[in-house]
Amino acid sequence: MTLIAAIILGIVEGLTEFLPVSSTGHLTIVSRMLGYNISDPSITAFTAVIQVGAIAAVIIYFWSDISRLVVAWVRGLFDKAQRRNPDYRMAWLVIIGSLPIAIVGFLLRHVISNQLRSLWIVAFALILWGVVMLYAEAVAKQDRPEKDLNLVDVLLIGFGQCLALIPGVSRSGATISIGLIRGLDRVAATRLSFLLGIPALIGAGAFELPTALKTPVPTVEYPHPVHVGLAPTLIATIVSFVVAYASVAWLLKFVSGHKITWFVWYRWVVGVALIIALSAGALS
């Protein structure tokens, strides 16, 4: 992989990871436009690893919240009195809400890296989940702040993360939409989406790191595999970190006064354009 390609993919990851437009879908599209086999194990591993840069941006942005939750959780494990702390409860909700994606992602890892890596799937997922986002905003009451989160909320939103394993759905689009359907206010749903994304994306990145860095062996299925290498992986991760930090700050400000339906029109335009490009043979 060239350094220019790595920088481009790092920018795409940082811009789209937390916006409800599907980072995996966009990385799949741009990787194919750059000429890479989007089902190549090294490419799928690379896209998972550079997400760690975006996650690092969220950790730094929410550091005070994360450290508070971690301290409250550790203290609560050893001190019964500390378990009345709302942060202790919130920490457990984040942990429980992260379990579905850990289990489903591991069990379906081969399907995700191969069968689902289709630009047709990306196109239709972009369009169809846009309909769900419109529905979520239509029924959203937004009368429940973050402190009203319960076990059912985080489990449903956690399973929503599993739907985002389909390229084009969007992890933030799925989690925010389900949060709105459950009556959460838009900022609370977005913040929870960020918190649940931290363990999910760190786990995916750590799991795929060895594949992204090793020199691939040609096989019958992939006779000319891509060797990504350390330098492109590192540069793309750094770029995704810088761009993601800015996009997180922007999105939190945006959702405080705007509906997520603004992103639906973009999703539909990209989805339709992709279908046209595939049908015309401009992309395969």
Buried b (16+ CB within 10 A) or exposed e, 55-64: bbbbeebbee
Residue 70 lies in a domain: yes
Residue 9 pLDDT exceeds 90: yes
Helix axes 41-49, 51-61, angle to 10 degrees: 10
Residue 74 lies in a domain: yes
Residue 9 lies in a domain: yes
Residue 134 lies in a domain: yes
Residue 18 lies in a domain: yes
Q: Closest Cα partner for 146 from 187, 193, 106, 200?
A: 187
Residue 225 lies in a domain: yes
Give the integer Cα–Cα distance in Å for 274 and 43: 20
Do the Cβ atoms of 82 and 75 come closer than 8 Å? Answer: yes
Q: What pLDDT is stored for residue 115 in this prediction?
A: 63
- Residue 103's alpha-carbon distances to 44, 100, 201, in angstroms, are 19, 5, 13
- Residue 189's alpha-carbon distances to 1, 37, 161, 177, 253, in angstroms, are 37, 35, 13, 8, 13
Between 270 and 44, the higher pLDDT residue:
270
Q: What pLDDT is stored for residue 215 in this prediction?
A: 60
| pLDDT tens-digit series, residues 160-193 | 888 888 888 888 889 999 999 999 988 888 888 8
Q: How many domains does the chain have?
A: 1
Residue 216 lies in a domain: no
Domain region containing 64: 3-211+221-280
The three-state secondary structure class of 169 is coil
Round the average pLDDT of the chain to a whole number and report it: 85
Between 32 and 11, the higher pLDDT residue:
11
pTM confidence score: 0.82
Partners of residue 184 on adjacent β-strands: 144
Give the integer Cα–Cα distance in Å for 107 and 104: 5
| pLDDT tens-digit series, residues 198-207 | 887 777 777 7
Partners of residue 144 on adjacent β-strands: 184
The count of C-alpha atoms lying within 13 angstroms of the C-alpha of 106, restricted to the half-sphere facing its C-beta, is 9
| pLDDT tens-digit series, residues 30-41 | 988 888 877 777
| pLDDT tens-digit series, residues 110-125 | 666 566 678 888 899 9
The three-state secondary structure class of 35 is coil
Residue 71 lies in a domain: yes
Which of 41-50, 51-60, 66-75 is predicted least confidently? 41-50
